[in-house]
Amino acid sequence: MSTHARHICYFFDYGALSLYSLGCAFTYGAYAMPDRWVNSTLHHYFVPMAAFNSFICTSLSCYSRFPELECPRLSKILRTTAFVYPFIYDNIPLFYRLLFCFGDDCTWNDAIVGYFYHLFFALLTGFLFASHLPERLAPGRFDYIGHSHQLFHICAVVGTHFQLEAILLDVCSRQAWLSAQAPAPAFSATFGTMSLALLGNLLIIGGFTVALLRWPGGSSILQSTVPEMVRAKEQ
């Protein structure tokens, strides 16, 4: 695979993660919203804002690959921010239900435990991604087994498992009540929002692909893909 193709594949990877965050917003807006927030302003604009956030996420993460060699710290900050921001926004309903939702007008069911484990593994995923532990403590010893990139993918999968289980519990226990309180999202609205988000993200990816191919500093970004050991030998 050429270095250009590698970067473009990462662009599509970032776009897919952005659409995943939008899918979470669809589900949380339909089934996980706290009782007190149903039909609130946040409830009505929760999904449209998540669609807008997907554009920010894809733009920031794609752009983060350009200063990767000259400013690796800036690149890491941009990429981490791109994923943390939509995560925090999407999980606002869960944070409220876990931390502040008590009393008769709050749904405290078996799904809460699943959401807790989901958030725990999601935060652990972010920590491993940002910290590069444990390989920073013993360089070379975790290249094949135990690397933070492997560990954060495992944590992400486990967290998604708990997320799905919790959502299914919310669907079973809250669907009837939610249907009586608010109309179900129209298929045209959900499909239309996802289609527009998909189109917008593809346009963003296309724009960054063109910029990558035409950028005068393209030779620098290509060098960023060369392993550190190879560069050290060349020096």
Residue 47 has which token pair? 């999904």
Rounded-to-integer distance, Cα 180 and Cα 107, Å: 15
Q: What one-character DSSP code corresponds to residue 106?
A: S
Cβ-Cβ contacts under 8 Å for 142 (sequence gap 6 or more): 134, 135, 148
Rounded-to-integer distance, Cα 59 and Cα 78, Å: 10
Helix (H, G, I), strand (E, B) or coil at 191: helix
Q: Are 4 and 212 in contact (CB under 8 A)?
A: yes
Rounded-to-integer distance, Cα 19 and Cα 178, Å: 25
Residue 153 assigned to a binding site: yes
DSSP-based helix, strand, coil % in the chain, nearest 5: 75, 0, 25
Q: What DSSP element (H or E) covers 60?
A: helix 41-63
Residue 4 assigned to a binding site: no
Rounded-to-integer distance, Cα 151 and Cα 146, Å: 6
Closest by Cα among 234, 171, 219, 229 to 70? 219
Rounded-to-integer distance, Cα 10 and Cα 7, Å: 5
Q: Annotated binding site for Zn(2+), which residues?
A: 149, 153
Q: Annotated binding site, which residues?
A: 149, 153
